[in-house]
Chain A
């Protein structure tokens, strides 16, 4: 997987890091940004959008855009979302200009008011049109603000969910609960802003910083995927001999985790542990052990670890998840991911079996030659290769994922079917292009572009890494009835590429037909969004979208697992280092924290004014 991340960088960004932009919309969005700026955000560019010129001018962000300069003349919207929307549309060009060229955009907005509720969906739409990966952090109003504002907020949230790749929702009422009622209002809001800014920062770190076990955007999506967009977020950072446990403690103390209780309900949990080079394997184990004890036994843990020299001697733990909402059937999005999640583990285990099965099926047909087998393998490889490509540059296609997600299985089917057919590396690509051509003649040009790209990826990679095939093969088996495979199989060796397409369409009508239908759907959607844009923009968007489709399917199957088998070699490298670290670490005793509390060590601490009064006063004052 190390290779994977490298190739990702080089492909998508010419070796540069991902670039981030954080956009605060409305008053509360600006507050979060101020907080972010206050804590130093070297990674991200900050942009504030507001209708109210006074608030805008008081923001410390580096870049500001006034919404509705002519419409509202520098005043607020007075709580009217329609005005907010108009204002955003008026400033659309400026916003677009500011977003262009960034890989990932975070939009923070406090919903319920005019500017936030009205402008945020517009901003999200523009961002998506620019093809960025979009994460929205929204806060819902307090209940006491009234039903109407809540309604405005919900409407706006629905719209935003349509555009954003991921939405993290904080409930103000809940934030209120978490803060000591005695605290001043300023403190309460500052705490809320801080939580949001922390989660933005953690998200940025997770996807941008290199990792030994890397967590990518796909993991993030899985973790955040749920019908209930309320997010669980915990972050802890600690230093000292006992930093692992201290960091976990802090993480669990994060208000949105409710002392870890809420983790119990989480289905997919993303955990990132990072530290500098001094981080030991033992510490990582400790953290994971502690955290997983709060999880359901069948929870899906997306684990990542990485080193970041900037952390110095401290160790940081980030937990991201979402609460389970209604039943999975309720929304299409959760369905997809959940289905995917179980599927993922299977392929790994079954991969050998799967290969065997396919081979057996082929044998039964009597037409399975070794060549055919090789071809099949090659076919899955393509898909894998594409995944990294997607993850790298263009995480943009969230919607596509959601809509298409049922497709993973079908895609898998499709891919094996063509795969055997294709003797030449280019061949596997063909079935996919075929689909767009038929249904979506209009978009033929972009489709062709995408096709051109596809073979490039697939051909070399397939040749290099035949190993990768296993998971896909297994998936294929599960998904595709043996019949499908058989039908194309005979056709493959005999016919050249061009005929293969036709054959595939005609002969394997049932299996291939499904993928065809779905494939066009995403293509059609993509253009819809793009319509408003310039020609240039269109081509860009489309070219991204096409690989994206494949990517999404790939996303379903967690990348880790593919990597696991593939990464046999890279895996070996990190292991010895960690063991070395472990040895070095062993002479340090973790038993006692620096300040001892004796018999009070296990109880609730008595903390007043930030001092732990259970530690002897004599020792504290002397120290």
Chain B
């Protein structure tokens, strides 16, 4: 195993295709070597709808990333998103045959958990362990070697429509780039936005992107809920364009310049020009009302989907916002109002490299992919159930300088 590993994380977003190259040093520190990005086309609501166009964008991003990082990229970690991706919690139980729990029992119980009922066209993206229970004893992190008769496990299983995910992978492979693994976007973002302590206290990560809003919720350090809603910043722009009857490009500009998600403090008399200096004007309040209505609905939707087991009551860590749309003024007030929790704008933390990169919430997902790759690699040498998964990643080292 090399003393340092280089990974590439690729996010094909609705607004941009972004490829981040990072190096994991032998001491575990992460350094970003370079980023290549290109405005994206052919992606709608987080899903590839025009493969050829996406490949053109991807190719541009790839060339830039290789130039800046001076690395030849062969394999990438790909983040996926889209409203078809859902998370469910599943508990499985097995009887331990020989009284002592071994690694193979963990495999067995995981298999049981994955027997959860999902639509036939869906495939599993992640199976994330929450806790084990041994003979009713709760919240055991590593039961290997313990004595017990009954082993139970809570898994959080993230699944999505197989063919749609395969289409994303196919698109990347035709560039050609090998896809090392696919990662649900907020799972990756959480690796850099939330630190271990925050996860333990409980936190909700909201990644409001261009086409989708993804969320993941941690309680006691384990994933308890995740999902994706097919609404994002593009919808806000679209709403403004439709209501004010202006072109999309203009609507985007109005949103960024004058938009606010929070209506308090907006002067009702304030007028803003619709199409540049000296043109027709519109109430700024109207623009903000359009944005507020959309985001309010979106957040309520997510709040409702988290309304089980009182999990929001257990997220003392607060809500972390990331994704391009989280830059919108007043969003923190609105989120705080909806969830009743403190709100933080999260960039990536604790790594070296161009700081503009990891502080910008737009890059949380691709940078998170690097961290995810690192964690996967760290877990690999460990014996046990994970080694099986890890074996799959032996090829990882196709990345070379």
Question: Would you call A604 and B45 a contact (CB within 8 A)?
Answer: yes
Spot the interface stretch: A139-147, A394-402, A610-618.
A610-618
- The complex places the Cα of A177 from the Cα of B234 at a distance, in Å, of 33
Tell me the nearest residue of chain B to A599, going by C-beta: B238
Contacts of A177 in B (CB 8 A): 120
Give the complex CA separation of A618 and B251 in angstroms. 15
Question: Counting CB contacts under 8 A, is B51 at the interface?
Answer: no
Q: Are B290 and A618 in contact (CB under 8 A)?
A: yes
* Chain B CB within 8 A of A181 CB: yes
Q: How many residues of B contact A (CB 8 A)?
A: 26
Contact A606 B238, CB 8 Å, known A617-B297, A618-B243: no
Task: Please tell me if B241 contacts chain A, counting CB pairs below 8 Å.
Answer: yes
Which of B118, B248, B289, B301 contacts A599 (CB under 8 A)?
B248
> Is B231 positioned at the interface, with any CB of A under 8 Å from its CB?
yes
Known contacts: A608-B301, A613-B230, A618-B293. The answer to whether A596 contacts B242 by CB under 8 A is yes
B118 and A618 form a contact (CB under 8 A): no
Scan B84-125; emit 1 where CB is below 8 A from any A CB, else 0: 000000000000000000000000000000000111100000
Cross-chain contact B289 with A606 (CB below 8 angstroms)? no
B231 contacts which chain A residues (CB < 8 A)?
606, 613
The smallest C-beta distance from A416 to any residue of chain B, in angstroms, reads 58
Taking the closest CB of chain A, its distance from the CB of B5, in whole angstroms, is: 38
- Chain B residue numbers with a CB within 8 Å of A618 are 239, 243, 289-290, 293-294
C-alpha spacing A596/B240, complex, angstroms: 12
B residues in contact with A608, CB < 8 Å: 229, 301
Task: Tell me, in angstroms, the Cα distance from A613 to B211 when the chains sit together.
Answer: 12
A148: Cβ under 8 A from any B Cβ: no
State the Cβ distance, A313 to closest chain B Cβ, in Å: 26
Which of these, A181, A596, A599, A616, contacts B234 with CB under 8 Å? A599
**Is the CB–CB distance between A616 and B45 below 8 Å?**
no
| Contact residues in A for B242 (Cβ distance below 8 Å) | 596, 598, 616, 619
CB distance from B342 to the nearest CB of A (A): 26
B window 114-142: CB within 8 A of A: 117-120
A611 to chain B, nearest CB (A): 9
A568 contacts across to B, CB distance below 8 A: none
Contact partner of A613 (CB less than 8 A), chosen from B118, B296, B297, is: B297
Task: Give the Cβ gap from A371 to chain B, nearest Cβ, in Å.
Answer: 71
Residue contact A621 to B293, C-beta cutoff 8 Å: yes
A181 touches B118 (CB 8 A): yes
Tell yes or no: A180 within 8 A of B by CB: yes
Q: Does A603 contact B (CB under 8 A)?
A: yes
Looking at the assembled complex, report how far the CB atom of B252 sits from the nearest CB atom of chain A, in whole angstroms: 11
Chain A residues, CB < 8 A from B239: 616-619
Most-contacted residue by chain A among B120, B242, B289 (CB, 10 A): B242
A613: chain B residues within 8 A (beta carbon): 230-231, 235, 297
Q: Kindly identify, within residues 9 to 53 of chain B, every residue whose CB is under 8 Å from any CB belonging to chain A.
A: 44-45, 49
* Inter-chain contacts of B49 with A (CB < 8 A): 603
Task: Please give, as numbers and ranges, the residues of chain B lying within 8 Å of A180 by CB-CB distance.
Answer: 119
Which residue in B45, B294, B301 is a CB contact (below 8 Å) of A603? Answer: B45
B83 at the interface (CB under 8 A from A): yes
Is the pair B117, A616 in contact by a Cβ cutoff of 8 Å? no
Q: How far is the CB of B211 from chain A (nearest CB, A)?
A: 10
With both chains docked as a complex, state the minimum distance between the C-beta of B298 and any C-beta of chain A, in angstroms: 8
Across-interface contacts of A619 in B (CB, < 8 A):
239, 242-243
Closest-CB distance, A255 to chain B (whole angstroms): 14
Q: Chain A contacts of B83 at CB under 8 A?
A: 606
One of B119, B230, B293, B294 near A606 (C-beta < 8 A):
B230
A606 touches B297 (CB 8 A): no
- Which of the four size classes fits the interface of chain A? 10 to 19
Other-chain contact of A617, B44, B230, B293 (Cβ < 8 Å): B293
Known A-B contacts A180-B119, A617-B296; the reply to A598 vs B230 at CB < 8 A is: no
Interface pair A606/B290, CB less than 8 Å apart: no
Which residues of the partner chain A approach B44 to less than 8 Å between Cβ atoms? Answer: 600, 603
B238 touches A600 (CB 8 A): yes
Chain B residue nearest to A603 in the complex (CB): B44
With known contacts A599-B238, A603-B44, A606-B230, A616–B119 Cβ distance under 8 A: no
The distance in angstroms between the C-alpha atoms of A603 and B47, with both chains bound, is 11
CB-based nearest A residue for B231: A613
Q: Which of B118, B119, B238 contacts A598 (CB 8 A)?
A: B238
Q: Among residues 571 to 617 in chain A, which have CB atoms less than 8 Å away from a CB atom of chain B?
A: 596-600, 603-604, 606, 608, 613-614, 616-617
**Minimum CB distance partner of B287 in chain A:** A618
Minimum C-beta distance from B229 to chain A (A): 8
Quick one: which of B330-387 are within 8 Å of A by CB?
none
B254-297 contacts to A, CB under 8 A, are 289-290, 293-294, 296-297
Interface string of A110-132 (1 = CB under 8 A from B): 00000000000000000000000
- Chain A residues with CB under 8 A of B119: 180-181
Q: State A394–B294 Cα separation when bound (angstroms).
A: 61
B120 x A617 contact (CB < 8 A)? no
Nearest-neighbor residue (CB-CB) of A608 within chain B? B301
Report the separation of the CA atoms of residues A13 and B234 in the bound assembly, to the nearest whole angstrom: 62
A616–B290 contact, CB under 8 A?
yes
- Nearest CB in chain B: distance from A258 CB, A: 13
Give chain B nearest CB distance to A620 CB in angstroms: 8
- Tell me which residues from 496 to 547 in chain A have a Cβ below 8 Å from any Cβ of chain B: none
Given A598-B238, A600-B238, A618-B243, A606 contacting B117 (CB threshold 8 A): no
Contacts of A603 in B (CB 8 A): 44-45, 49
- B290-314 residues with Cβ-Cβ distance < 8 A to A are 290, 293-294, 296-297, 301
Cα(A597)–Cα(B44), bound, Å: 14
Chain A residue nearest to B49 in the complex (CB): A603
Complex Cα distance A613/B234, Å? 12
Task: Write the nearest CB–CB distance from A191 to chain B, whole angstroms.
Answer: 16
A177 to B119, CA, bound (A): 9
Given the complex, which residues of A lie within 8 Å of B230, measured CB to CB? 604, 606, 613
Task: Give bound CA distance, A583 to B117, whole Å.
Answer: 54
Whether B117 pairs with A181 at a CB distance below 8 angstroms is yes
Residues of A142-200 whose CB lies within 8 A of B: 177, 180-181
- Would you give the shortest CB distance from A17 to chain B, in whole angstroms? 45
Whole-angstrom distance between the alpha carbons of A600 and B43 in the complex? 12
* Interface-central residue, B235, B248, B301, by most chain A CB under 10 Å: B235
- Once bound together, how far apart are the Cα atoms of A603 and B232, in whole Å? 15
* A614 CA / B229 CA spacing, docked (Å): 12
What's the least CB distance linking B46 to chain A, in Å? 11
B239–chain A nearest beta-carbon distance, Å: 4
Q: Which residues of B contact A596 (CB under 8 A)?
A: 242
Chain B residues within 8 Å of A597, by CB: 238
- Closest chain-B Cβ to A592's Cβ sits at a distance in Å of 11
Query: Which A residues are CB-close (under 8 A) to B290?
Result: 616-618
The CA of A604 and the CA of B164, in the complex, are separated in Å by 13
Alpha-carbon distance between A599 and B230 when the two chains are bound, in angstroms: 14
A614 to B297, CA, bound (A): 12
Q: How far is the CA of A616 from the CA of B234 in the complex (A)?
A: 11
- Given A603-B49, A606-B83, A606-B231, A616 and B238 touching (CB < 8 A)? yes
- B45 contact set on A, CB distance < 8 A: 600, 603-604, 606
A606-B83, A606-B231, A617-B297 known; A598-B117 Cβ under 8 A: no
Q: Are B235 and A600 in contact (CB under 8 A)?
A: yes
Give Cα A214–Cα B235 distance, bound, in whole angstroms.
47
User: Across the interface, which residues of A come within 8 angstroms of B234, CB to CB?
Assistant: 599
Listed in ascending order, the chain A residues whose CB lies under 8 Å from chain B are 177, 180-181, 596-600, 603-604, 606, 608, 613-614, 616-619, 621
Extra inter-chain contacts (15) besides given A604-B45, A616-B293, CB under 8 Å: A598-B238, A598-B241, A599-B234, A600-B235, A606-B45, A606-B83, A606-B229, A606-B230, A616-B235, A616-B238, A616-B239, A616-B242, A617-B297, A619-B242, A621-B293
| Interchain residue pairs with CB less than 8 A apart (12) | A181-B118, A181-B119, A596-B242, A598-B241, A608-B229, A608-B301, A613-B235, A614-B235, A616-B293, A618-B243, A618-B289, A618-B294
Closest 9 CB pairs of A and B: A616-B239, A617-B293, A606-B230, A618-B290, A598-B238, A618-B293, A617-B294, A617-B297, A598-B242
